[in-house]
């Protein structure tokens, strides 16, 4: 069994953090000794961590982007735990993990999971120039889609070993068990009638998620006579801009923002379809959660979207930023017989390819192979 430290930048409500917690929990259930470390003191998902076998949770409480005191404390923690591997989620956690491992002088494997596909601004591009050498020093980079892997390898973001593990969802937890009556009652509490065509979007209200485009699609659909309304599950910095655009288009009362929700499932089930308008994604966890709940997804053609969605079968793709194409595809799914048929096929796809068990099996196999390889190398050198 392995002893592993999983490192995240924080424990905020983000997909990378949620997946890191899921893998940590599941490997702990399988008998591995798992420890969780988060660098910045944002711990909104702390309650989701369930460790066993002496596992610990450590907040490094960094007060700035690069904190020397935090780095020293992290190195000391690694020396105490003596892990057989460290797994960092995304480049910021990779940087801290790589430097702390050097300070600890423990020659254990370092694995990084990477969840982004595009750098949206000059700041992120500058940061990647800093992070790229840390990828080169890592034992393995795990990308979340084949398209994302190819994108970054062409740009020199790679490690000695480069793998793809699609994100996965717990198909028992994300299963539509709500009766039609329960669904109708919850829709009414949100202000929707049975006749409304409810289009959901489950994502933090951040610029790269592009919620404003869904607002524009709602206005276009209503101009076509389709009773479309939006349910945005989340909160964030773009809330004001989204609400302002809804007022400009006179659809303010047709756009509902829930705020952060601990359990997104009933909100997804209240929707007829789900949309993802993102400028960038790796492999959307929100999308496969919706698919597991039998909801077809209309997704911008970014990241691994084409690896989860077969257009016209279990959802649709549309070119990034193309509101007319988004509107056209959402209009097709306004037919509930069509959306129900596609939603059932979406569920089948998740069960076959994107279950949490399949994902954790892959991570466990990669982790154990890398640990065995490093152990064999040390033994060969010692002899």
Nearest-CA neighbor of 238 among 198, 262, 196, 208? 208
Number of H helices, E strands in the chain: 14, 13
Look at residue 160 and tell me whether its pLDDT is greater than 90.
yes
Residue 379 is predicted with a pLDDT of 45
What are the structure tokens assigned to 137, written together? Answer: 């020093």
Contact by Cβ (8 Å): 148, 117: yes
180-353: what CATH class? Answer: alpha beta
In whole angstroms, give the CA distance from residue 12 to residue 152: 25
Of the chain, the percentage scoring pLDDT greater than 70 comes to 97
Look at residue 186 and tell me whether its pLDDT is greater than 60.
yes
pLDDT in tens, 230-284: 999 999 999 999 999 999 999 999 999 999 998 999 999 999 999 999 999 999 9
Nearest-CA neighbor of 286 among 172, 370, 357, 202? 202
Residue 377 is predicted with a pLDDT of 55
pLDDT in tens, 332-381: 999 999 999 999 999 999 999 999 999 999 999 999 999 988 765 554 44
In whole angstroms, give the CA distance from residue 377 to residue 25: 29
Contact by Cβ (8 Å): 23, 359: yes
Cα dihedral across residues 194, 257, 11, 91: positive or negative? positive
Beta strands 110-114 and 85-89, pairing class: parallel
Strands (E), 212-330: 228-233, 255-257, 273-276, 297-300, 315-318
pTM reported for the whole predicted model: 0.91
In whole angstroms, give the CA distance from residue 316 to residue 300: 9
Strands (E), the chain: 3-8, 33-38, 57-59, 85-89, 110-114, 140-143, 161-164, 197-202, 228-233, 255-257, 273-276, 297-300, 315-318
The domain 3-168+356-382 is placed in CATH, from the list 3.40.50.720, 3.40.50.9100, 1.20.120.450, 3.40.50.2000, at 3.40.50.2000
Domain boundaries, the chain: 3-168+356-382, 180-353
Residue 382 is predicted with a pLDDT of 42
Lowest mean per-residue pLDDT among 3-17, 18-32, 271-285 = 3-17
Residue 45 is predicted with a pLDDT of 82
Mean pLDDT of the chain: 94
Contact by Cβ (8 Å): 265, 170: no
Is there a common fold for 3-168+356-382 and 180-353? yes
Look at residue 93 and tell me whether its pLDDT is greater than 70.
yes
Look at residue 89 and tell me whether its pLDDT is greater than 60.
yes
Higher pLDDT, 121 or 110: 110
């Amino acid at each position: 069994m392995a002893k592993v430290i999983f490192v995240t930048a924080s424990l905020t409500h983000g997909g990378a953090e949620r997946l890191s917690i899921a893998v940590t929990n599941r490997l702990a259930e399988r008998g591995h000794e798992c420890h969780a470390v988060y660098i910045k003191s944002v711990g909104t998902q702390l309650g989701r961590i369930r460790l066993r076998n002496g596992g610990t949770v450590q907040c490094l409480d960094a007060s700035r982007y690069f904190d020397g005191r935090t780095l020293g404390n992290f190195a000391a923690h690694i020396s105490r735990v003596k892990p057989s591997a460290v797994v960092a989620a995304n480049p910021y956690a990779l940087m801290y993990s790589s430097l702390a491992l050097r300070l600890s002088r423990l020659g254990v494997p370092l694995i990084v999971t990477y969840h982004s596909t595009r750098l949206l601004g000059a700041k992120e591009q500058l940061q990647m120039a800093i992070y790229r050498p840390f990828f080169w020093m890592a034992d393995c980079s795990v990308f979340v889609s084949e398209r994302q892997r190819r994108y970054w390898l062409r740009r020199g973001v790679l490690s000695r070993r480069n793998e793809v593990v699609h994100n996965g969802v717990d198909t028992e937890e994300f299963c539509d068990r709500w009766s039609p009556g329960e669904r109708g009652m919850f829709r009414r509490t949100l202000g929707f009638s049975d006749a409304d065509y409810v289009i959901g979007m489950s994502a933090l209200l951040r610029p790269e998620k592009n919620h404003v485009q869904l607002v524009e699609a709602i206005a276009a659909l209503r101009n076509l006579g389709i009773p479309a309304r939006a349910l945005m599950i989340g909160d964030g910095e773009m809330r004001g801009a989204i609400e302002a655009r809804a007022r400009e288009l006179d659809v303010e009362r047709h756009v509902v923002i829930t705020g952060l929700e601990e359990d997104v499932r009933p909100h997804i089930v209240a929707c007829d379809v789900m949309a993802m308008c993102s400028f960038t994604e790796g492999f959307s966890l929100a999308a496969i959660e919706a698919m597991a709940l039998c909801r077809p997804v209309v997704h911008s053609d970014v990241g691994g979207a084409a690896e989860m969605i077969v257009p016209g079968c279990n959802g649709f793709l549309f070119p990034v930023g193309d509101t007319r194409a988004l509107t056209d595809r959402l209009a097709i799914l306004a037919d509930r017989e069509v959306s129900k048929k596609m939603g059932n096929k979406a569920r089948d796809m998740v069960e076959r390819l994107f279950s949490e068990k399949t994902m954790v099996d892959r991570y466990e196999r990669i982790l154990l192979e890398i640990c065995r390889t490093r152990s064999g190398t040390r033994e060969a050198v010692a002899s």
